Structure 1
């Protein structure tokens, strides 16, 4: 039995394609954290296991979804991801053979209309299929991952990821993830400064555009390098703001 788990918030633009691509699964579980659009209504067209809850961060939320799963195997996907027919075939074969405890899947991400194959985005292996009893998510607020005990295999067919539809979505995610990243670094005791934020941004652009060759992805490759740099800049700038706020008058 295969359970699919998805967490959502205001994903009406994506979630229909996502759930349609896994409608063949034995069970689909959706945890929504306060959507104000049609996300919940769309999800209920595909499954009756739609739960509404608060938002504790990515890791804890995905673990909550995992705790509700009943299948021997679990496929964790994001609302902006799609399982292709080729990937479905590999998943079904793997579950039938049961040789591993989990599988990494190459993720092919689309950035503003172009599939990105450089810049560190391909092959972006993500561990998403695993035996339920062998896996558990970390409690990280952002950049969570699932830890699986046992042998891990790899698939060939990609998970299709509509990472950024347009620049508005890019800017929204840069803002959201830089805030979460800054808060996570603060909890770890990391320090920042204006110069550190600038240097982190510069290094991120050079690494993405030159060292990881997003230059080969044309205009979108340049845009990706810039948005990655912006994400690093604002994350460390927000961290600097947080530490200065803590030093302010009580």
Structure 2
């Protein structure tokens, strides 16, 4: 016989918060995995596809906001939630069955173990889930009491939530489908590399020749050999190469910025004497 659920009035309410842009092919599965939440808030960056219509049809409350950074967008979503306990996802993520059970059990206990909860993220990489290397367990803090934490800081890429208080780990995986194609991954990593290089440069960080040469190689060998990425077959090999390339791009861009060189093409007419 199942254990009786606690009084609903005493159980904390939970808001799911998602940011989205042109995610019509993924938003429905994401929202379906969040059906156990008391509310779903989607902050959309003016999608041109059916993302908004699909989210509203699934019962989500959809808000429109111009995108000005991943951290800022996620914090805005948290602030719009009706409840203080929030579960934050991207549209390319889904709550797995075991993780859902862990979240429900923690909620039934009143989320009394911590101010926030982290859990592993399991990423699909072109038909295979990566379970080794730098890809897994990739634990992320996504469930927390917004009165004691949130998406803080100034970094708008590779953003992370933090809380004032204890953080506990839940069993189960957050299922991640990050890339639609290799082309998308390469474009995405180049964009993230530029954003991180600009962020680090603004904070006074500078690239060195040693880091320029050694950092990409270390990222590859640490993930592929030391952390067992080779156990994921050719998927693990390609993933390790692409991630090492991200480090290479970021370090080169930081080097260029440190030497007064642009990393993006200047707008035409900006100082070139042309109209």
State the TM-score, normalizing by the size of structure 2. Answer: 0.83
State the distance in 2 between where 1:18 and 1:45 align: 13
SS at match of 2:135: coil
Distance across 1 between alignment mates of 2:147 and 2:164:
9
Deviation of the 1:40 alpha carbon = 2.1
1:19 aligns with 2:34: no
Deviation of 1:112 after TM superposition, in Å, equals 1.3
Residue 157 of structure 1 aligns to a residue in which SS? strand
C-alpha distance in 1, partners of 2:255/2:54? 40
Corresponding residue pairs, total: 249
1:116-144 alpha-carbon deviations (Å, 9 max, x no partner): 11112222211111123122212321111
Query: Which among 150, 170, 175 is matched to residue 190 of structure 2?
Result: 175
Work out whether 1:231 is the aligned partner of 2:231. Answer: no
State which of 24, 31, 40 in structure 1 corresponds to 2:43.
Answer: 31
The one-character-per-residue Cα deviations of 1:182-232 (angstroms, maximum 9, x if unpaired) are 111111212236774343222211122112221111000100111001111
Question: Secondary structure, in 3 states, of the residue corresponding to 2:198?
Answer: helix
Q: Equivalent of 2:85, from 59, 73, 94?
A: 73
Equivalent residue number for residue 115 of structure 1? 129
The structure that has the greater radius of gyration is 2
Residue 241 of structure 1, CA deviation:
3.2
CA contact (8 A) 1:113 1:165 kept: no
8 Å contact 2:215–2:247 — kept in the other structure?
yes
Which of 180, 200, 206 lines up with 1:191 in the alignment? 206
For residue 221 of structure 1, the aligned residue among 231, 236, 249 is 236
> What does residue 268 of structure 2 align with?
none
Provide the rounded CA distance (Å) in 2 between the counterparts of 1:48 and 1:12. Answer: 14
Change (3 A) 1:93 1:200: same
Q: 2:158 aligns with which of 140, 143, 148?
A: 143
- What SS does structure 1 have at the residue aligned with 2:87? strand
* Whole-angstrom distance in 2 between the partners of 1:192 and 1:35: 37
CA distance in 2, matches of 1:50, 1:194: 47
Question: Which protein is richer in helix relative to its size?
Answer: 1
Structure 2: give runs of 5+ residues left out of the alignment: 1-12, 263-270
Task: Indicate if the aligned counterparts of 1:4 and 1:22 stay in contact, CA closer than 8 A.
Answer: yes
Which residue in the other structure is 2:5 paired with?
Answer: none
Deviations, residues 72-91 of structure 1 (Å, cap 9, x unaligned) = 31101111111123222221
Q: TM-score, normalised by structure 1?
A: 0.91
The aligned residue for residue 62 of structure 1 is: 74
Match of 2:261 among 225, 245, 250: 245
| DSSP-derived class of the 1:17 partner | helix
- Match of 1:184, SS state, is helix
